[in-house]
C-alpha cells in the first residue's frame, strides 16, 4: 500500500485515515463558504442585480469572509495534521511506523491540501452550477457605467476557483513550513501568522530605513507595488483577483520551492526537539534577530516621529527596542528567563554590529546609492510625474486610473537635460535633504524613472522632495519643458482619448454655467493645446491665479479594449494663454467668466507671521490686516495673486468675498476670517510679487483693527 518512489512517495492508508479523522474541516469550511458566498446568490434568485457588487467583490477575491477562510482552514488543517510533531511521544510513534520521512510528510501535506482545498473546490463547482446559463445579453454590460457585468460566466467562476485554490495552497504551504520549523502548537500558530507577513514586513522595514537615510529613495509611491506582490494574500484583493500571469507563475514557483524546502527540512528535522519553540537550532538566532529587528524599528520610528524627538530619540529607540525585543525573543525561544549567558551576549553583539554597519552604510551612502546616475548610453527613456513642476494646481492633472504623464521621454536632448538635473540634485543633496520635513517650505515631489538597456537592472527609480526655489529656475528643466517632446507627451487629447465628451468651466471651485457644443469643445481645446505648446518654462512654473479651470471628460474610444474607462483631466487656463482667451472672447464666454470677478464685494489683505502670537507660537498669526474694494485694485489682485504661498512663516494672503457665495458653499470649505467674517477664496502674494509694492502705502487700503 505504500509507494516507494523516492521524493514523491505517499502512504495511501495514511491519507485515508487523515481524511477520516479530519473530515469535519472541509465540511465546516464548505458551510462557511456556502453561507458567505453561495447562499446569498441562491436567496437573491432572479434579482441578481441586487447583489452584483457583492458577487463582484467575491469574484475579485476581496470578500473579507473568503479571505479569512483562506487563512483559517489551511491553518487548521496544518495544525491538526502536523501536531504529532509537537510532542515527544507522538513524534516517536509516528516515525516508528513503517513510513519514510518523505512519505510521512508527503502524505500529510497532500491530506491537508485536500482538506483545505475541498471547500473551495465545492464552492467553485456550485458557482459554476449557478452560473450556467449566463445572464441574458442585457445584463452583460451596464450601459450606464460601461462596466462589464457578466459575472456569472463560467470563465469568471473558473478564474475565481483557480485563484482561490492558488491562494489556499500558498497559505497552506506556509503553514506547513511553520509546523515543521516550530516545536509546539503556539509557536506554530504564531509562526504561520508571521510567515504570511514576513516578506512584506522585511521589505517595509528595509524601505523605511532606506527612505529615512537615503536621499532619493522611492518610498511608497514606487515601492508599494513591490510590497503588494510579495504575498498573494495582499496582491489578489488589491489587484481584484487579476495579479497577472507573471505573478501567478511566480507564486506557483514559490509554492514549489517552499514545498521542496519544507520537505528537506522535514527529513532533517531533529525529532528530539519536539516541544521546544523551534525545531532547528540555527533558527533560534534568525528568529531572535527578526524579532529584534521588528522591535528595534518600531521603537526607533515611534521615538523619532510620535515623540518628536529627532535623531537622538531615533537612536535611543534603536538601542532600547533592540534590547527589549532581543531578550524577549530569547526568553520565548528558550522558554526560560535565564537567558543572560555568554552566547546571548555574543549574538546580541553580532546583531548590534550588523545593524551599526547597515546604518553607517546608509548614513554615509557607502553603497553610492545617492550619487548614482545611470550611464548615459544605457538610458533608453525616462519619465517624471506629470504634475511635479507646477505644485498642486498643475497644468494637467490626470485622473487616478491614468498612467498618462508617465510616458517615456526618449529625445537625447531631454535625456541629457534630466541627467544634468539629476546631477545637480546629487551635488546639492546636503542642502536639499530634509526639505520634506520642513513644512514651511513649498516643495515638489519629483518621481523620476529611468528605463535602462540590459538584462539586469532595467529600471532605476528615484523620488525626491525638492524646494520650489530649486526647480523654478533650473535650466535643464527649462530645456525639458520647452521641448517638443514634452509638449507632445502632455497633450490633452491623445490617440486613445481623442474625443472630449464634456468640458466644464470652473472658477475658484465654483462650476460656471457654460455648455460647449462638440465643435466648440474641439475648437477651444485646440486653442488650449496651442497655448500649451507656446508656453515657456517661466510661464509654466508661474503661480499666478489662472483665469479658469477646465474639467474634461475624455471617452475611451479605442476599439477592442476589454475594460474601457473614461479619463478625467483637469487643466488650468492661465491668463497668458492668448489663443484660449481670444477664443473665449470671440465666442462670448469671456464676459461670463469675468462676471464672478466683478461680483467680488471686498478683498482683505492679511499679513501672517510665524511666532508672533504669544498664546499660540507654533502657527503663523495675522499681524496686519487691510481691506479694499476698488474695482481696479481688485482686478489687479485677481490677476497678480498667486495660487499658493511659498513661505508659510511670512506670507501675504488676499481673501476675496463674493456675496451670496458663502451661503451656498459653506464656511468650512473656504475658511473663515479671524473676526468671524467669511471669505470665499484666497490668493497669495509671495516675495517679489509686484502687487506688494503697488499696495504698500496705497490710500485705497483701509487698515483693519487687529483681530487680537
Partner 1 sequence: MIQVTDLEKRFGKVQALSSLRMNIKKASIYGLVGANGAGKTTVLKHIAGILRADSGHVTIEGEDVYENLRVKERSCFIPDDLYFFGSYSLKESARFYSRLYPVWNPALYTQMAARFELDENRKLSRFSKGMQKQAAFILSMSAAPDYLILDEPIDGLDPLIRKLVWKYIVDGVAERGMTVLVSSHNLREMEGICDSIGMLANGKMLIERDLDELKSDIHKVQAAFAEDVPAEGRYEGLRVLHKESRGVVDLLIVRNPKEEVERVIGGKSPLIFDLLPLSLEEIFIYEIGGGNHDIDNILF
Under the rule (CB under 8 A), what is the footprint of partner 1? 1-2, 4, 11, 13-14, 16-17, 21, 84, 87-101, 103, 271-272, 281
Least separation in angstroms between residue 88's CB and partner 1 is 6
Least separation in angstroms between residue 348's CB and partner 1 is 20
Q: Which of 91, 492 has the CB closer to partner 1? A: 91
Least separation in angstroms between residue 80's CB and partner 1 is 9
Q: Which of 24, 141 has the CB closer to partner 1? A: 24
H or E element, residue 549: strand 548-555
H or E element, residue 672: none
Helical residues (DSSP H) of 214-341, grouped into ranges: 220-229, 232-238, 245-268, 281-301, 310-334
Q: Which three cell numbers stand for residue 185?
A: 502548537
Could you tell me which of 568, 567, 564, 502 has the C-alpha nearest to residue 146? 564
Least separation in angstroms between residue 69's CB and partner 1 is 24
Compute the Cα dihedral for 376, 379, 381, 382 and give only its sign.
Answer: negative
Could you tell me which of 27, 7, 181 has the C-alpha nearest to residue 114? 27
Contacts of 121 (CB under 8 A, 6+ apart): 161, 165
H or E element, residue 653: strand 650-657
CA separation for the pair 373, 426 (Å, rounded)? 9
Please answer whether residues 338 and 276 qualify as being in contact, where contact means their C-beta atoms are separated by less than 8 angstroms. no
Least separation in angstroms between residue 65's CB and partner 1 is 29
Q: Which of 260, 672 has the CB closer to partner 1? A: 260
Q: Which of 86, 212 has the CB closer to partner 1? A: 86
Q: Which of 73, 99 has the CB closer to partner 1? A: 99
Q: Which of 98, 614 has the CB closer to partner 1? A: 98
Q: Which of 12, 286 has the CB closer to partner 1? A: 12
Please answer whether residues 118 and 26 qualify as being in contact, where contact means their C-beta atoms are separated by less than 8 angstroms. yes
Least separation in angstroms between residue 371's CB and partner 1 is 48
Q: Which of 24, 240 has the CB closer to partner 1? A: 24
Least separation in angstroms between residue 212's CB and partner 1 is 40
Could you tell me which of 584, 585, 624, 590 has the C-alpha nearest to residue 604? 624
Helical residues (DSSP H) of 459-505, grouped into ranges: 468-472, 475-481, 484-489
Least separation in angstroms between residue 97's CB and partner 1 is 6
Least separation in angstroms between residue 118's CB and partner 1 is 20
Q: Which of 96, 562 has the CB closer to partner 1? A: 96
Q: Which of 1, 456 has the CB closer to partner 1? A: 1
Q: Which of 84, 577 has the CB closer to partner 1? A: 84
Please answer whether residues 85 and 91 qualify as being in contact, where contact means their C-beta atoms are separated by less than 8 angstroms. yes
Cis peptide bond prior to 453, omega within 30° of 0:
no
Could you tell me which of 409, 393, 543 has the C-alpha nearest to residue 480? 409
CA separation for the pair 137, 143 (Å, rounded)? 12
Least separation in angstroms between residue 98's CB and partner 1 is 4
Please answer whether residues 382 and 448 qualify as being in contact, where contact means their C-beta atoms are separated by less than 8 angstroms. yes
Cis peptide bond prior to 450, omega within 30° of 0:
no
Please answer whether residues 415 and 451 qualify as being in contact, where contact means their C-beta atoms are separated by less than 8 angstroms. no
Residue with C-alpha cell 511608497?
Answer: 220
CA separation for the pair 376, 446 (Å, rounded)? 20
CA distance to 504, 548, 595, per residue, from 509 (Å): 12, 9, 15
Least separation in angstroms between residue 273's CB and partner 1 is 9
Least separation in angstroms between residue 344's CB and partner 1 is 15
Least separation in angstroms between residue 292's CB and partner 1 is 22
Q: Which of 80, 637 has the CB closer to partner 1? A: 80
Least separation in angstroms between residue 7's CB and partner 1 is 13
End-to-end CA distance of the chain: 92
Residue 554, helix vs strand vs coil: strand
Least separation in angstroms between residue 63's CB and partner 1 is 33
CA distance to 21, 92, 103, 107, 114, per residue, from 16 (Å): 9, 21, 14, 9, 11
CA separation for the pair 503, 412 (Å, rounded)? 35
Q: Which of 11, 622 has the CB closer to partner 1? A: 11
CA separation for the pair 173, 179 (Å, rounded)? 10
Please answer whether residues 93 and 67 qualify as being in contact, where contact means their C-beta atoms are separated by less than 8 angstroms. no
Could you tell me which of 287, 280, 298 has the C-alpha nearest to residue 329? 287
Amino acid at each position: 500500500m505504500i509507494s516507494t518512489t523516492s521524493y514523491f512517495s505517499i502512504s495511501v492508508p495514511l491519507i485515508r485515515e487523515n481524511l477520516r479523522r479530519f473530515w469535519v474541516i472541509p465540511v465546516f469550511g464548505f458551510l462557511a463558504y456556502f453561507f458567505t458566498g453561495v447562499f446569498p446568490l441562491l436567496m437573491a434568485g432572479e434579482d441578481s442585480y441586487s447583489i452584483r457588487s457583492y458577487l463582484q467583490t467575491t469574484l475579485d477575491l476581496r470578500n473579507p469572509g473568503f479571505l479569512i477562510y483562506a487563512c483559517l482552514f489551511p491553518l487548521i488543517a496544518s495544525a491538526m495534521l502536523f501536531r504529532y510533531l509537537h510532542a515527544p511521544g507522538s513524534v516517536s510513534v509516528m516515525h516508528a511506523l513503517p513510513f519514510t520521512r518523505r512519505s510521512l510528510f508527503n502524505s500529510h501535506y497532500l491530506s491537508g491540501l485536500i482538506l483545505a482545498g475541498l471547500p473551495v473546490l465545492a464552492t467553485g463547482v456550485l458557482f459554476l452550477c449557478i452560473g450556467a446559463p449566463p445572464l441574458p445579453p442585457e445584463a452583460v454590460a451596464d450601459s450606464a457605467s460601461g462596466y462589464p457585468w457578466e459575472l456569472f460566466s463560467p470563465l469568471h467562476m473558473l478564474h475565481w476557483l483557480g485563484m482561490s485554490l492558488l491562494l489556499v495552497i500558498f497559505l497552506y504551504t506556509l503553514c506547513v513550513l511553520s509546523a515543521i520549523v516550530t516545536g509546539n502548537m503556539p509557536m506554530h500558530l504564531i509562526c504561520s501568522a508571521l510567515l504570511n507577513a514576513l516578506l512584506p514586513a522585511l521589505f517595509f522595514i528595509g524601505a523605511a530605513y532606506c527612505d529615512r537615510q537615503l536621499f532619493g529613495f522611492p518610498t511608497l509611491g514606487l515601492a508599494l507595488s513591490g510590497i503588494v506582490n510579495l504575498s498573494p494574500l495582499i496582491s489578489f484583493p488589491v489587484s481584484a483577483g487579476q495579479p497577472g500571469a507573471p505573478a501567478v507563475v511566480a507564486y506557483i514557483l514559490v509554492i514549489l520551492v517552499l514545498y521542496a524546502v519544507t520537505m528537506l527540512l522535514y527529513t532533517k528535522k531533529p525529532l528530539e526537539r519536539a516541544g521546544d519553540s523551534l525545531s532547528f537550532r540555527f533558527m533560534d538566532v534568525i528568529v531572535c534577530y527578526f524579532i529584534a529587528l521588528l522591535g528595534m524599528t518600531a521603537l526607533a520610528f515611534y521615538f523619532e516621529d510620535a515623540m518628536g524627538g529627532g535623531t537622538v530619540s531615533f537612536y535611543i529607540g534603536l538601542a532600547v527596542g533592540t534590547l527589549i525585543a532581543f531578550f524577549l525573543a530569547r526568553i520565548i525561544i528558550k522558554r526560560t528567563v535565564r537567558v543572560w549567558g555568554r552566547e546571548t551576549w555574543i549574538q546580541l553583539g553580532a546583531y548590534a554590529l550588523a545593524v551599526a554597519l547597515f546604518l553607517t552604510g546608509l548614513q554615509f551612502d557607502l553603497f553610492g546609492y545617492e550619487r548614482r546616475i545611470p550611464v548615459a548610453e544605457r538610458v533608453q527613456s525616462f519619465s517624471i510625474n506629470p504634475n511635479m513642476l507646477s505644485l498642486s494646481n498643475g497644468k494637467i492633472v490626470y485622473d487616478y486610473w491614468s498612467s498618462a504623464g508617465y510616458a517615456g521621454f526618449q529625445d537625447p536632448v531631454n535625456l541629457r537635460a534630466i541627467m544634468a538635473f539629476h546631477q545637480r540634485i546629487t551635488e546639492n543633496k546636503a542642502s536639499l535633504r530634509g526639505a520634506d520635513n520642513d513644512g514651511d517650505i513649498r516643495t515638489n515631489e519629483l518621481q523620476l524613472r529611468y528605463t535602462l538597456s540590459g538584462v539586469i537592472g532595467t529600471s532605476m527609480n528615484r523620488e525626491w522632495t525638492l524646494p520650489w526655489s530649486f526647480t523654478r529656475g533650473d535650466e535643464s528643466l527649462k530645456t525639458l519643458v520647452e521641448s517638443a517632446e514634452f509638449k507632445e507627451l502632455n497633450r490633452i487629447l491623445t490617440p486613445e482619448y481623442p474625443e472630449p465628451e464634456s468640458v466644464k468651466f470652473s472658477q475658484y471651485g465654483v462650476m460656471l454655467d457654460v455648455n460647449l457644443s462638440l465643435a466648440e469643445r474641439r475648437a477651444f481645446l485646440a486653442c488650449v493645446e496651442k497655448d500649451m505648446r507656446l508656453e515657456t518654462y517661466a510661464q509654466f512654473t508661474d503661480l499666478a491665479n489662472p483665469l479658469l479651470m477646465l474639467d474634461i471628460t475624455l471617452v475611451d474610444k479605442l476599439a477592442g479594449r476589454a475594460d474601457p474607462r473614461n479619463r478625467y483631466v483637469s487643466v488650468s487656463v492661465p491668463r497668458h494663454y492668448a489663443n484660449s482667451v481670444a477664443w473665449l472672447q470671440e465666442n462670448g464666454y469671456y464676459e461670463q467668466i469675468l462676471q464672478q470677478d466683478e461680483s467680488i464685494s471686498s478683498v482683505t489683505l492679511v499679513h501672517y507671521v510665524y511666532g508672533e502670537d504669544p498664546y499660540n507660537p507654533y502657527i503663523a498669526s495675522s499681524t496686519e490686516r487691510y481691506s479694499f474694494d476698488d474695482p481696479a485694485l481688485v482686478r489687479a489682485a485677481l490677476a497678480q495673486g498667486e495660487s499658493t504661498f511659498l513661505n508659510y512663516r511670512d506670507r501675504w494672503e488676499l481673501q476675496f468675498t463674493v456675496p451670496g457665495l458663502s451661503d451656498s458653499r459653506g464656511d468650512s470649505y473656504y475658511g473663515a476670517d479671524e473676526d468671524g467674517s467669511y471669505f470665499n477664496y484666497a490668493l497669495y502674494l509671495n516675495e517679489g510679487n509686484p502687487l506688494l509694492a503697488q499696495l504698500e502705502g496705497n490710500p485705497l487700503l483701509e487698515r483693519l483693527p487687529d483681530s487680537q
